[in-house]
Every structure is written in structure tokens, then in C-alpha cells.
Amino acid sequence: MPATLHLICGLPCSGKSTYAHALRDRRNAVLLSLDRWLIKSFGRYPVDTVGHEEHLRRVYANRELIWEVAAEFLHRGTDVILDDGFFLRADRADYASRAAAAEATTTIHFLDTPAEEVRKRVEIRNRSLDEFQFEIAPDALDVYISIFEKPQPDEPATIVAATAD
């Protein structure tokens, strides 16, 4: 049976990391978290101080490093979970293509948490960030909500409606 690349998809504070950890335990998979890699690489920085373009450069550079590790596990038959958010359809399609090249399947785990609930959770999280969490400004959250592309049935992956209970 081929390995599976699990893309954890949803807005900030939708429950992605909680869900990803539980999935890791159920699947005995490798979990790779973008925020952890970003903070290890650059420290915890306010996105508005480095600028959106620099933040995106850092995100995509770390995604490439993460992919090198993920591909190795997939080739060896081990499931990999990418706790990233995957806001954009094009990014999800890119990773599904990469997984196929590694002879793995792809599942998108979509946490469709309502925006009102996400706003409440962001406020709570910002008051007590853990070591590998970024603070999210309310205006930044508005941008994330506006650019987020919900997974659609025609994406090149299995889509699972997920909750972080």
C-alpha cells in the first residue's frame, strides 16, 4: 500500500495542529509543521515587521526544506502530515503532484471552522502563545480569510472534512 501525504488545510486557529497531532498518533506518521520550521529558522517574528513578501519568501523556502524530508519518508512508505494551512488551491495541487511523483497518494484534511470561531480562538491564542506559534493580528486574519480557497471536489486528492475534537 502506498504512503499518503496528508495536507492539513484550514485557517489559523481552526484546529489544524491539534488535529494533525491526533492524526499522527492514529496513523503512526511523521508530522512536519511549517510554523515550527519558520520559528526555528527565523525566530518568532511579527509578519508586519518583515513584510508580507519577505514572510512569503520564508514560507516557500521552508516548504522546500520540509518537502525534501517529506519526500524521503514517502519514498520509504511512511505517511507524512504537513501542518501548513494550504490556503491556496494551486499549492494543494502542487503537493498532490509531488506526492504522486513520490508514488504516494494525497489526502486533504479540511478544517472548516467558521470565521467567528477562528476570531475568538485567535484572541485567546495571542494571549498565551506557545513556543512554535505566531501572533496573528486581527487585520492579518482578515487577509487570510479573504485569500483562503476552500478545497473543492475536483482537487487531485481525497478530501476529508476534519474537526479537532
Domains of the chain: 4-162 (3.40.50.300)
Q: 10-58 pLDDT, tens per residue? A: 999 999 999 999 999 999 999 999 999 999 999 999 888 898 899 999 9
Residuewise pLDDT in 10s, the chain (165 residues)? 899 999 999 999 999 999 999 999 999 999 999 999 999 999 999 888 898 899 999 999 999 999 999 999 999 999 999 999 999 999 999 999 999 999 999 999 999 999 999 999 999 999 999 999 999 998 889 999 999 999 999 999 999 999 876
- What mean pLDDT, rounded, does the chain reach? 95
CB 74 within 8 A of CB 3: yes
Tell me, yes or no, if the pTM score tops 0.85.
Answer: yes
Distance CA 42, CA 46 (A): 11
